[in-house]
Amino acid sequence: MTLELSALDKSVLGGEQGPSVAAAMKILLAFSKAIGAGSLLDITGAHIDGCLYHGKAGLDFVERLVEGGGRVRVPTTLNVGSFDLIHPGMVKMPVAEEVPARRLMKAHLELGCQATFTCAPYQTRFRPEFGQQIAWGESNAIVFANSVIGARTNRYGDFIDLCCAMTGRAPAWGLHLSENRRGRILFEMDIADPEPSDSLFVGVGLIIGQASGDRIPVISGLPQPRDEDQLKALGAAAATTGAVALFHVVGITPEAGTLEEAFHGHAPEEMFRISRADIDHALSRLSGVPDGAPLSAVSLGTPHFSHEEWMRLLPLLRTVAPGRGIPIYVNTGRATLMRLQEEGALDGMEAFGLIPVADTCTYVTSILERLDGVVMTNSGKWAHYAPGNIGVTVAFAEMRDCIQSAAAGHVVRSAL
């Protein structure tokens, strides 16, 4: 397939906008040809997943763009980095790693990106709208934007997301196109629950992620979520255990008013039923830690805690009043943290063991003081990745159980 370029694309490629933008366009065109895109389209925003320091190559790439006078052409948010710039004292990192990690975050700012440093850009003022074409990295952000908002993005990895931001263009391919957004596989839920728990949505996400492969799942019969944070948890789990970048929930998400709409009039290629036993089995695989196991920490907020989640957490802390010295780490975006501080919502909360973490996440950065005991979380994503990333033993549970466990000093679970 021939890749058609606009006059502006050709001028950018020819260097009329500077060497950095030309380099970004060259990379984007090579990528577009490789995936078989026929043209490029304009985007209204980007979210960059390359702020997490993995080695010198990533830093060299961004600094080369900076040296060439590069600037992003659309509003561009930044994913988490390897460092909490707001609370630097809590990060345990050798200087040899800290310097390039900080530099990578700063270099993205020099390209004109926004200092959001959050995996949940949909919680910021840069949240896209239904139907907008965007180029986002970070798996949970991608699935949320496509599914819950109805914006349009593919799964863009490191460097390609930044090339899209630099050029303001993305390949007209994949989930950018209406015909590729139809459901392929149906999950029918056999669960009646007027007030579904957060864990239910995590469990559904784990199941559809493992079963869908690269097919777009449609969920029928999902109980009405309390808020979008439950859909956030579903999408994050699905993107963690599989390659889900878009899901439809009949009667809930914006492109699935009916089954017919979700499948664009086609029949599903395959059907599954999800029972309560299926949910329980999926959640049990997140941890085999028994009740009563000694606890070393609690970690919440993966993806980053929203303001609404904070408003549910803080009363729990005051009610349960943990007094065992178990730290409760809460990963959140700096914009959300700033709002809480302005509201005075966090005043005195350190007495309850609360430790806010911004700009990064505790499963990718060395922040936890102890790794020898059990760390409890309400996040399917954190529970999935933390054992391999930082070597901890994880117990998964509802947020209330996490806080009660911190008060008791050991794992306490009610029924999920």
Q: What is the pLDDT of residue 373?
A: 85
pLDDT of residue 371: 84
Are both 66 and 139 inside the same structural domain?
A: yes
Domain range for residue 189? 182-284
**Shared-domain flag, residues 404 and 257:** no
Last residue of a domain, one of 156, 178, 200: 178
Please give the helix or strand (H or E) that residue 329 lies within, else none.
strand 328-332
pTM score over 0.75: yes
Structure confidence at residue 372 as a pLDDT band (50, 70, 90)? confident
For the stretch 216-253, pLDDT in tens is 999 999 999 999 999 999 999 999 999 999 999 999 99
- Do 251 and 279 fall into the same domain? yes
Domain total in the chain? 3
Residue 387 belongs to what H/E stretch? helix 380-390
The residue from 132, 153, 178 where one domain ends is: 178
User: Are 63 and 172 in the same domain?
Assistant: yes
Q: Which of 140-149, 316-325, 345-354, 400-409 has the lowest mean pLDDT?
A: 316-325
Residues 6+ positions from 362 with CB-CB distance below 8 Å? 299, 302, 329, 331, 368, 382, 386, 390
Q: Give the range among 174-178, 235-239, 348-352 with minimum mean pLDDT.
A: 348-352
CATH code at position 331: 3.30.499.10
Report, as an integer, the average pLDDT of 102-121. 98
| Residue 414 maps to a domain | no
- Pairing state of beta strands 217-220 and 270-274? unpaired
Which residues 6+ apart lie within 8 Å of 390 measured at CB? 362, 363, 366, 368, 371
Arithmetic mean of pLDDT, 110-130:
98
Contact indicator for 375, 386 with CB cutoff of 8 Å:
yes
Residue 195 lies inside a defined structural domain of this protein:
yes
Distance (Å, whole) CA 141 – CA 362: 18
